[in-house]
Amino acid sequence: MNREKERHTALANSSDERGVSRSASSAWRRRRSGGRPSSPLRVITASSAGGKGMGRPGTGRGGGLAGSSLMRFAVAVVAAAVLLAAGPCEATTKPYSSRDDVPVIANNVFPYNNPAETYKYYSLPFCRPEISERERQRFGEMLVGDRKVSTDYKLSFGVNMSIMRLCKPTLFPDDLRQLSEAIKEGYYFEFFVDDLPVEGPIGQVTGHDIHVPLGLLQSAGTVELYKHINFVIGYNGDRIVSVTTNPHEPESDQPPYVDISNTDSEIEVEFTYSVVWKAEDTPFSARMDKLAGGGFLPETFEIHWLSIINSFVLVVILTVFLGIILLRILKNDLTRYMDGDEDDIGEEESGWKLIHGDVFRFPSHVNLFAALTGAGAQLCVVTISLLLCALLGVFRPTKRGSILTCILVLYSLTAWVSGLVSARLYRQLGGGKWVWNAITSSLVFPLPLLGVFSVVNTIAISQSSTAALPFYPVMVIVAMFVFIVFPMTVIGAIIGRNTTSDFQAPCRTTRVPRQVPKDVPWYRRDASQMVMSGFLPFSAIYIELHYIFASVWGHQIYTLFGILILAFLLLLVVCSFITVSLIYFQLGREDHRWWWRSFFSGGSTGLFVYAYSFFYFFNRSQMDGLLQSSFYFGYMAVISYAFFIMLGFVGFVSSLTFVKHIYSVLKCD
């Protein structure tokens, strides 16, 4: 072992000095003007670092065989597109023999509390190889902003290394200012060793007020740049099962940092590293469990169950209470209307029976209404499928970008649902321009998403962030929409249009609309009812929503999909019931305009989700800066919009079923 150590030490001492990258100085200064992230410095390891980073078809008139063939073709195209998007990515994990080279791949640098604000690793003046090679990446990794490049760290499997020199560059004032600013803002680096992510701070600030966030520091304290990285690698047999880093030099009394508080003069810094190998019992198949388990401790796991039980009990109590009241009122009304004389019924001054000639009057803006309903049905199917895939282990949450890739695939595969549901409803409501309806259905969700993406991606490009999607994945997504999503939506629309009969209303609709009472209490107006209908479903998920936010906009990995499915089913049930209750009370005051109201009442939970995102941003996180804020509020608006149309579909379908049922038992003229 001593001979091996001497050999590596001699090799390090005879190595040439490496240069440092200063090409991104101007870009660094430009992007810093967009915002100022603030975060207290915290050390994390690979065991706690997570990914940065939710009708029926049938055969039409003569079109059954063709439709079936087109569907199979579309599925085949989806599979081909996904395989093409994944690209020829070489495996970065493998069995090792003694002294085999273990590559260290650099990914990016980022403020710890701004996980969406990522930059290329060599945008800071770190030791750079003479020939820096870009590593091949999966499609999902490109979606989440990974930009892997090679480094000059030389690791050998099973070989401990003491002080190994990486490079000894001269840092000029511009370099020092870049590094000093990044350290004050709490920047971390991210490496990959055998496909295991490992993160660590690039420096620290000492002698400052601990209550002052690092992003707000100006000149107080000493800025110290870590010049040493100690790799601690766990192995089991011929496999690597864990990787952590720390800045401490083993068997050395020298400090692992250099003071760079003075940025007016150049200094020479020797960057070094060391490697310690440890045998562990962790099986290779379970090494990713550390990444997934690091975010949620056993105490937190109990909180998940306690919170979901508390929410379940609360919602059940409220639901039973409302159910008893609703059933009693409905039973009394039905008894009075069924047993009473026609003269008595005619003398009633109020009640839902009096509007039987208007309750099935079709809503305005039929095309948009049908398109939103179809999109909501598709998103509901996508969400349920995604949760089932996660629960069954179809994809690993620890794989970077796997969830985003799965969402793209599921959205493409289920595009026919949107066209089918929308076309069926559109025809039942008397619509005649089915082509325009199919186009609207295919764009009603992607178009707002495109608008948000264009804004946030432009901001990311202006700040030279790797969060900006490159040309290749953008073109793949566009191709998937043009050649898969849109055609499958049209296929679904054709099937739905050809397998749908006219709307069968239990009561005949009168020619002249009945006048709607205008003098209603404030708590029965549209805005008040949307608040009431959104709050109760939101109360069923808000605890779990906190942990999802911590995973999507933090460094934890969410794996409790069983609990999440329970919360989602609870959300659907409560949303359905509360919407039906409010629609019944609306009909009771002789207001027959329930179609859009049922959709808005069901979807109002999405507004609560977006409101909660503001609370989380300002009170539960330390996110800051233009780039992070634009990504957060932009994509949360899209997610909330998805909640809105998905739960709007649930509310409308539940209300339609309820309204048709109660009027079908009446003796309508």
Tell me what pLDDT residue 122 has. 95
**What's the burial of 668, exposed, middle or buried (CB within 10 Å: 0-12/13-18/19+)?**
middle
Q: Which long-range contacts (CB under 8 A, 24 or more apart) does 524-527 make?
A: 524/585, 524/586, 524/589, 526/597, 526/600
How far is it, in rounded angstroms, from Cα 28 to Cα 269? 21
What tokens does 338 get? Answer: 């069924």
Tell me what pLDDT residue 338 has. 63
Sign of CA dihedral 167, 168, 174, 180: positive
How far is it, in rounded angstroms, from Cα 225 to Cα 275? 20
Where is average pLDDT lowest: 43-47, 100-104, 109-113? 43-47
Residue-wise pLDDT for 366-379, tens only, equals 999 999 999 999 99
Tell me what pLDDT residue 506 has. 82
Residue with the bigger pLDDT between 52 and 154: it is: 154
Residue 184, SS3 per DSSP: helix
Please state, for a pLDDT cut of 70, what percent of the chain lies above it. Answer: 78
Tell me what pLDDT residue 72 has. 55
pLDDT band at 669 (very low <50, low <70, confident <90, very high): low
How far is it, in rounded angstroms, from Cα 483 to Cα 492? 15
pLDDT band at 628 (very low <50, low <70, confident <90, very high): very high
Residue 243 has pLDDT above 70, yes or no: yes
Residue 267 has pLDDT above 60, yes or no: yes
Task: Please provide the average confidence, as pLDDT, over all residues in the chain.
Answer: 81
How far is it, in rounded angstroms, from Cα 122 to Cα 20? 8
Residue 297 has pLDDT above 50, yes or no: no
Residue 528 has pLDDT above 60, yes or no: yes
Tell me what pLDDT residue 2 has. 46
pLDDT band at 59 (very low <50, low <70, confident <90, very high): very low
- Return the exposure string of 359-383: e unless at least 16 CB atoms fall within 10 Å of the residue's CB, then b: bbbebeebbebbbbbbbbbbbbbbb
Tell me what pLDDT residue 216 has. 47
User: In degrees rounded to 5, what are phi and psi of residue 296?
Assistant: -125, 110
Q: How far is CA 636 from the centre of its chain?
A: 9
Residue-wise pLDDT for 158-197, tens only, equals 999 988 999 999 999 999 999 999 999 999 999 999 999 9
**What's the burial of 401, exposed, middle or buried (CB within 10 Å: 0-12/13-18/19+)?**
buried
The counts of H helices and E strands in the chain are 21, 16
> What are the distances in angstroms from CA 214 to CA 9, 53, 193, 471, 520?
37, 22, 29, 35, 54
pTM: 0.83
Q: CA nearest 524: which of 571, 619, 588?
A: 588
Full strand arrangement of the beta sheet holding 222-226 = 203-206, 222-226, 257-259
How many C-beta atoms surround the C-beta of residue 620 within 10 A?
Answer: 14
Residue-wise pLDDT for 556-566, tens only, equals 888 888 888 98
Residue-wise pLDDT for 86-95, tens only, equals 444 444 578 9
pLDDT band at 54 (very low <50, low <70, confident <90, very high): very low
Tell me what pLDDT residue 427 has. 94
What are the domain boundaries of the chain? 2-29+98-293, 303-333+531-669, 364-504
Tell me what pLDDT residue 668 has. 62
Residue-wise pLDDT for 64-83, tens only, equals 434 455 445 444 544 544 45
Average pLDDT for 440-464? 97
Q: CA nearest 133: which of 154, 149, 155?
A: 149
- Residue pair 657/583 in contact by the 8 Å Cβ criterion: no
Residue with the bigger pLDDT between 482 and 328: it is: 482
